[in-house]
Amino acid sequence: MAQVTLSSVKKVYAGGVEAVKGVSFDIPDGGFCVLVGPSGCGKSTLLRMVAGLETISSGEVSISGRVVNQIEPADRDIAMVFQNYALYPHMSVYDNMAYGLRNRGTPKDEIEKRVKEAARILAIEGLLERRPRQLSGGQRQRVAMGRAIVRKPQVFLFDEPLSNLDAKLRVQMRVEIKKLQRALGVTAIYVTHDQVEAMTLSDKLVVMNGGQVEQIGVPAEVYRKPASRFVATFIGSPPMNLLPAAIDGPGIVALGDALLEARDLKQNLASGTKVEVGLRPEDIEIASEGQAGALPFDVEFIEELGATQLFHGKLAGQPFVMQAATGDVAAEARRLWISVDPDRVHVFDAQSGIRLGRE
């Protein structure tokens, strides 16, 4: 019902800044789409074009099959939660939530019913008489959510709604947002630069860079098969190790003297082609010296993360990080022999950074 479709959407700001350079994707009804990318990549701009707060330079945005380019934000049947919450400071919490309904001429008792219902869902019933300045950050966040849900919109838009909260509250609200969206069955577009939020919330993940889409997919797929070097290093923490290498034969890359098997490697690549090999720190396994495919890793120092430890050092002369559960590997600087599941070896074109995978 509320499917959102973007086709070749572009945004050129006055002054010539090309913030969004032709983006196309669609979100199914009830889907949760997360736009993630580094600062300045055009996420907010894209979201604001869907909201109608920015004009669309070219391309089309449609909601439920209706092109909305020329339609006022108020008539697009959307609600937005802003990073700074954007509550009306001079109105009570009740009035903040009721404002949108009053503007639409909703009957008074219906307004009261909906506001009470939203307040109950968000557990802010006791705060309805307060002003925004008398609320904590987390409570303001809930009111902002409440203002969005009372209107029963077809699409929720979120622009970094959790970035002003502390780490613990952020995790809690993240779970609540997801639950709420599921329960209401509303289509959602969520902008963040936090990859944990991106991975956990989305069922469609859009990774953006420099105004363009780098990859679209379900989060697990984006994690397992990053489409480019950029996505590979952006998604995953600590970031993926990238090492210069060369093609040695079908399914084999040469990393210095060592040979590494890569199952997802494009065929018919000429031997000697320069590539980059990507290995996630959490995919590294301990091997024994002399085992086939074992690589020597010289550990220089160790970071304690509690449940896991990060081993920093050099592999084939390049900086390298390995992650292991605390206690699995003796924490001391020395030479380790490591190996990687051939399914978890990523190969990228050295120049373009595009994944060299099987079609």
Partner 1 sequence: MQKNAYFRSLTIPLLLLLPQLAITVVFFYWPASQAVWQSFLLEDAFGTSTQFVWFENYQSLFADPGYFKALRNTAVFSTFVCVFSLSIALLFAVMADRQIRGAEIYKTLLIWPYAVAPAIAGVLWIFMFDPSLGMLARGLQSLGIAWNPRLNGNDAMTLVILAATWKQISYNFLFFLAGLQSIPKSVIEAAVIDGARPMRRFWTIIFPLLSPTTFFLLVVNIVYVFFDTFGIIDTVTGGGPAGATETLVYKVYSDGKGGSNLGGSAAQSVILLVMVIAMTAVQFRFIERKVNY
Ligand X SMILES: Nc1ncnc2c1ncn2[C@@H]1O[C@H](COP(=O)(O)OP(=O)(O)OP(=O)(O)O)[C@@H](O)[C@H]1O
Q: In the set 12, 53, 71, 350, which binds partner 1 (CB under 8 A)?
A: 53
What x-and-dash track marks residues 169-208 binding ligand X by CB under 6 A? ------------------------x---------------
Helices 137-150 and 93-103 pack at an angle, to 10 degrees, of 20
Tell me the CA distances in angstroms from 93 to 3, 7, 105, 114, 118, one per residue in order: 31, 38, 19, 13, 12
Site for ligand X in 229-268 (CB under 6 A): none
Q: In the set 55, 58, 103, 271, which binds partner 1 (CB under 8 A)?
A: 103
Q: Applying CB under 6 A, which part among 12-20, 144-152, 287-295, 326-334 lies near ligand X?
A: 12-20
Note whether 82 binds ligand X by CB under 6 A.
no
Answer positive or negative: Cα dihedral of 104, 109, 112, 117: negative
Which one, 19 or 324, has the nearer CB to ligand X?
19
Minimum gap (Å) between residue 42 Cβ and ligand X: 4
Note whether 191 binds partner 1 by CB under 8 A.
no
Round to whole Å and give the CA distance between 153 and 257: 59
Element (H, E) at 192: strand 187-192
Note whether 42 binds ligand X by CB under 6 A.
yes
Query: Residue type for 59, please?
Result: G
Round to whole Å and give the CA distance between 212 and 204: 16
Site for partner 1 in 113-142 (CB under 8 A): 131
87: partner contacted, choices ligand X, partner 1, Mg ion, none (Cβ within 5-8 A by kind):
partner 1
What residues have CB less than 8 Å from 65, skipping those under 6 apart? Answer: 3, 5
Which one, 99 or 337, has the nearer CB to partner 1?
99
Note whether 82 binds partner 1 by CB under 8 A.
yes
Round to whole Å and give the CA distance between 171 and 327: 27
Answer positive or negative: Cα dihedral of 162, 163, 165, 167: positive
Note whether 99 binds partner 1 by CB under 8 A.
yes
Which one, 158 or 297, has the nearer CB to ligand X?
158
Note whether 239 binds partner 1 by CB under 8 A.
no
109: partner contacted, choices ligand X, Mg ion, partner 1, none (Cβ within 5-8 A by kind):
none
Residue 242, phi then psi, degrees to nearest 5:
-120, 130
289: partner contacted, choices Mg ion, partner 1, ligand X, none (Cβ within 5-8 A by kind):
none
> Which residues lie near Mg ion (CB under 5 A)?
44
For 36, the 3-state DSSP assignment is strand
Nearest to 46 by CA among 266, 230, 282, 207: 207
Q: In the set 20, 79, 145, 213, which binds partner 1 (CB under 8 A)?
A: 79
Centroid of chain to Cα 35: 6
Give residues in contact with partner 1 (CB under 8 A). 51-53, 72-75, 78-80, 82-84, 86-90, 99-100, 103-104, 131, 147, 151
